[in-house]
């Protein structure tokens, strides 16, 4: 089980300097982070330390992460954002 402390730390780390990223990352953490397996949580933690401009490019699908291991977590976040937009 994931501790509230870890979820709160990721919630805090998801608050970025760009509103566009906040609108994608914070809801994902609130709704899905606690359900991620160990590997996906580790990938999210690696993703969250990336630069805002890089994240922005990846979430707009203008570029892919150079670290190919991050692609699946980026896809999960984008799928979550799309599913929220569809509702």
Q: What is the dihedral of CA 14, 28, 53, 50, to 10 degrees?
A: 60
Q: Note the pLDDT of residue 53.
A: 96
Spans in the chain with pLDDT lower than 70: 87
Q: Look up the domain containing 37 and give its range.
A: 4-86
Helices (runs of H) and strands (runs of E) counted in the chain: 5, 0
Q: Note the pLDDT of residue 86.
A: 77
What is the rounded distance in angstroms from the CA atom of residue 68 to the CA atom of residue 1? 27
Comparing CA positions, the residue from 50, 40, 39, 38 lying closest to residue 14 is: 50
Q: Note the pLDDT of residue 85.
A: 78
Q: Note the pLDDT of residue 58.
A: 97
Which strand (E) or helix (H) includes residue 47? helix 38-47
CATH of the domain at 55: 1.10.150.250
Domains held by the chain: number: 1
Q: Note the pLDDT of residue 1.
A: 77
Burial 26-52 (b: 16+ CB within 10 A, else e): bebbeeebeebeeebbebbeebbeeee
Q: Note the pLDDT of residue 37.
A: 97
């Amino acid at each position: 089980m994931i501790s509230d402390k870890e979820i709160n730390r990721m919630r805090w780390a998801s608050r970025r300097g760009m509103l566009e990223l906040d609108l994608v990352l914070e809801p994902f953490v609130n709704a899905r982070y606690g359900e991620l397996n160990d590997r996906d949580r580790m990938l999210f933690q690696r993703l969250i330390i990336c630069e805002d401009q890089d994240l922005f490019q990846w979430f707009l699908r203008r570029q892919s992460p150079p670290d190919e291991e991050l692609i699946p977590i980026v896809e999960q976040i984008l799928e979550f954002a799309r599913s929220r937009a569809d509702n």
